[in-house]
Amino acid sequence: MNDRQSIFDAVYKEGSATTPENPEDVRPQHETQMPEGTLYLPVFYDTLKTLAQTVEVDYYLPGCPPEAERIWAAIEAIVAGKLPPRGSVLGLHTTVCDECKRTRHEKKIKKFYRTWQIIPDEETCLLEQGLLCCGIATRAGCGALCPAVNSPCIGCHGGNDGVEDYGARLQSAVASVIDSNDADEIERIIADGIPDPVGTFYRFSLAGSLLRRSKRD
């Protein structure tokens, strides 16, 4: 949400929480000459961009990393000449919830928990237990591996087909399961259980979302 200058000021300016002493205001440089040669650091761009905003992408293979089954399916499509239109996602078209073997009921959430606050049971939907599981809005193809080991989905496969903004889709899905019609109570439920909404809902998708960096004064 911030530009390069404001981030560097927050981290490296003398007196900041991370850099209490920096009288010469030293900042990271792309190139630094050392006795052994030139040290290179990645360029810290002012605006984070997606791959597709930088180069033309032939196909997307979701996952972090992609599962072996999805890689094999992509290879089969290439060999058989059955690739979808250029720029498509090579993956399943359902959500992680459809692959998850946990028991699901009508979701009514009164409180969200951080993963270290509770030990969930191994059979009930994690979202119903108050853990923010992103499987409700995330593309399938992983076999719901994280929920299978009692860990909520974090959304690494991205949104399903037709989703323009994954974070907004996930927020909408989560909002629909909060069991309250009182604005103050809803705000408390979210504030207590989801202290970093942007980092939570846009963990892998902020650069390509409709939510961009805050405007400069």
Residue 169 — φ and ψ, nearest 5°? Answer: -65, -40
202 & 113 share domain: yes
Give the other-Cβ count within 10 Å of 61's Cβ: 16
38-73 pLDDT, tens digit per residue, is 999 988 888 888 889 889 999 999 988 899 999 999
Six token digits for residue 86: 């250029």
User: Measured at the alpha carbon of residue 115, what is the angle toward residues 154 and 119, in degrees to the nearest 5?
Assistant: 125
Domain count along the chain: 2
The confidence band for 98, taking pLDDT boundaries of 50, 70 and 90, is very high
Is 146 a member of any domain?
A: yes
Is 80 a member of any domain?
A: no
Q: What is the pLDDT of residue 139?
A: 94
Query: What number of CA atoms fall less than 13 Å from residue 8's CA on the CB side?
Result: 13
Is 76 a member of any domain?
A: no
29 & 132 share domain: no
195 & 127 share domain: yes
Q: What average pLDDT does the structure give for the chain?
A: 90
The confidence band for 6, taking pLDDT boundaries of 50, 70 and 90, is confident
Q: What is the pLDDT of residue 76?
A: 94
Task: Residue 191: give the domain boundaries.
Answer: 93-208
**Average pLDDT, stretch 111-116?**
92
Q: What is the pLDDT of residue 80?
A: 94
69-96 pLDDT, tens digit per residue, is 999 999 999 999 999 999 999 988 899 9
Is 141 a member of any domain?
A: yes
22 & 121 share domain: no
Is 55 a member of any domain?
A: no
Q: What is the pLDDT of residue 168?
A: 93
98 & 204 share domain: yes
Residue 148 — φ and ψ, nearest 5°? Answer: -65, -25
26 & 111 share domain: no
Is 189 a member of any domain?
A: yes
Task: For residue 187, give the 3-state DSSP assignment.
Answer: helix
127 & 196 share domain: yes
CB of 112 closer than 8 Å to CB of 131? yes
Q: Hunting for tokens 């989801």 — which residue is that?
A: 194
120-130 pLDDT, tens digit per residue, is 999 999 999 99
101 & 28 share domain: no
112 & 20 share domain: no
